[in-house]
Amino acid sequence: MTEIINSNLEINQPKSMDEHQKMESTSQFDPKSSLNADQLIKLQEFDRELKSFLLEDWEEEWCNERCLLRYLRARNWDTKKSLDMIKATIVWRRQIRPDCISAQDVDIELNNSGKIYRGGYDKQKRPLVYLKPGRDNTDDKVKDLKLLYFIYMMEKASKAAEAAHPSGEKIIWIVDWKDHKQGGGLSPMNSIKLAKEVINILQNHYPERLGGAYVFHAPVIWHAFWRVISPFIDETTKSKIHMVKDAKKNNPILSMIDSSQLEKEYGGSSDYQYNYERDRLKEDLAFPPNN
């Protein structure tokens, strides 16, 4: 049965790296190789201070050097601020256990025509995640599940980034507002609340993960929405969010992504379309949840 599912997952997929084979061994990459003497000392201090806070084996595994360095960079190498930040994330991960979320846990959100899914890589081997609010088919009743679905996809995309390249960490988001209708999906108020929660999680619990976000077909409501949520976004994150007015002209992602890896709607040549029956187990098969 597993062989059949794996075979079906390949239909219409962009010709991308095989996560199971892990094209390049991460064991050969030393994340400390680019650090100066002062940064090495701060990394050692950070690691030493954090040890006593860790309670379980999964926490020690998650707090590897690459993870610690992301938190240090996010707080400009201030070890105290970095320590406060990572401790808050560990407490959050103890409560949520993102690594244990399975497709079954978010099946209601997976069952759509493709509102969030991963497909393809850019030339730096950063995974592409598509977000299409116009395909949202659930409402306010499952707002918490929507947030869980976002966390599920962040966790899987993060693992895909690390599997694709020895130094891989970042994710590229392609956000398409096509066919979005005001009043569809969440109510405007809950949409803003959810956006604030997503921003908080992205900035505080997945630091240094965003490689870029490219927004297509932004509706008039987007500009009002952006005015409301932008004060909650730090300047570094803001600098990575780009509006794309035309997929064929002045489209920045065309130079970043091979045509075969990018869907036609955004200037590529891939015919891939999300299919629930075929794709619902794709992420769990590539990166099984911890139990």
Average pLDDT, the chain: 88
3-class state of residue 285 by DSSP: helix
User: What is the spatial distance between Cα 111 and Cα 233, in angstroms, rounded to a whole number?
Assistant: 30
Q: Which of 162-166, 186-190, 206-210, 239-243 has the lowest mean pLDDT?
A: 186-190
pTM (two decimals):
0.88
What does the pLDDT read at residue 51? 96
68: confidence class by pLDDT, cuts 50, 70, 90: very high
- Which of the given ranges, 207-221, 242-256, 269-283, has the highest pLDDT on average? 269-283
Tally Cβ neighbours within 10 Å of residue 139: 13
pLDDT in tens, 175-233: 998 887 654 566 777 778 888 999 999 999 999 999 999 999 888 777 888 888 899 99
pLDDT in tens, 113-138: 999 999 999 999 999 999 998 888 88
- The order of strands in the sheet holding 241-244 is 116-121, 127-131, 171-176, 210-216, 241-244
pLDDT in tens, 74-126: 999 999 999 999 999 999 999 999 999 999 999 999 999 999 999 999 999 99
